[in-house]
Structures are given as structure tokens and as C-alpha cells.
Amino acid sequence: MEKKSSEYFRNNNYNVISSHDDIFSDLTYDSVAKIAEDVMQSYLDLKYDKVILVYNQFKNAATQNVMSENYLPVESPKEEGVVIGDYIFEPEKKEIIEQLIPKSLKTQLFKAVLDSHASEHGARMTAMHKATDNASELKKDLTLSYNKARQAAITAEILEIVGGAEALNN
């Protein structure tokens, strides 16, 4: 299933820069962190002006929501009426930001991949449940049709026997 999106974009002449179809076979934080590092480095190298993260958010087994979030550049949340004071940071603000933002971005991407993976499994589970229900209904209908045909054959055979017995009596 993971390859479907790659095939779609390639077949419709989209510029696919990188594909990680095998990510779900080794879904770990480290494997996703490497992808996040590549994206962050490409952004810092000015290959991209903006990076938007699009993924399926898992709500429940039957419901997934398509989400679109700004990934890069990082935007600070805007809250009205909030006064930001001056604090003393240990280590320095710059060092905290240089370590915290990449970790936050890696975690954000990992969450999106996990959500998409859970959504796919939920969709598959729902599809299999519906297929099982449909197969059960089809089996019930076929059994009913078979029994009706068998009963009709038995009735026809009984009528032949009775008709033959009546012919011998006359």
C-alpha cells in the first residue's frame, strides 16, 4: 500500500524528490529522524521556501482526517494578550533553540508517520470487517437459493413419482 502514493505522483508527472516506501518495515524514531534531518538540511540549503506536512490523522478505526500542517519554517504560536517576560536561560537561548527545534521537528514528523500508519491499519481493519459482513450476507443468500433449488428438485421428483404411480393405477 505504501508504494501506491509514490506510483501515483510519478505517473502524474510530479517532481518526486525522495521516496521512502520502505519506512513502515522499519518504523522507528531513528529512521524517521533521518528523513527529518534531510528535510531540515534541504530547507537550510534554501532548496525549499516552505515545507508542508500532509498526513492522515487517526481518529478511530473507521475515521481518518487528512491533516495539513506547516512544518518549515517554524512559526511561533500567536496568543493575544500574553506578555512574554525576559528570562535567564541555562544554557543560552540560542543553544536551546538549536537543539530543541530539530528534536521537535523530528518528533512532529514521527507523530505524523505513526498517525498515518495507524490510519492505514484502521482503514484496512474496517475494510476487512465490511468484506467479512458482505461475504456472510452472500453466503446466507446463496444458501437460501441452494435450499430453494434443492427443494424444487425434490418436489419435482415427488411429483414424477406420484404421476408415475397414478399412471400405473389407471
Position 4 scores a pLDDT of 83
* Nearest by Cα to 144 from 32, 71, 136, 9: 136
Cis peptide before 91 (omega within 30 of 0): yes
Position 113 scores a pLDDT of 96
19: helix, coil or strand?
Answer: coil
Backbone torsions φ then ψ of 98, nearest 5 degrees: -65, -25
Q: What pLDDT digit, counting tens, does each position of 32-89 carry?
A: 999 999 999 999 999 999 999 999 999 998 899 999 999 999 887 666 666 666 777 7
Question: How much is the pTM?
Answer: 0.74
Q: Which CATH number fits domain 2-169: 1.10.3470, 3.30.70, 3.90.1070, 3.40.1380?
A: 3.40.1380
What's the pLDDT band for 91 if we cut at 50, 70, 90?
confident
Q: What pLDDT digit, counting tens, does each position of 106-144 carry?
A: 999 999 999 999 999 999 999 999 999 999 999 999 999
Q: Which helix (H) or strand (E) holds 63?
A: strand 63-72
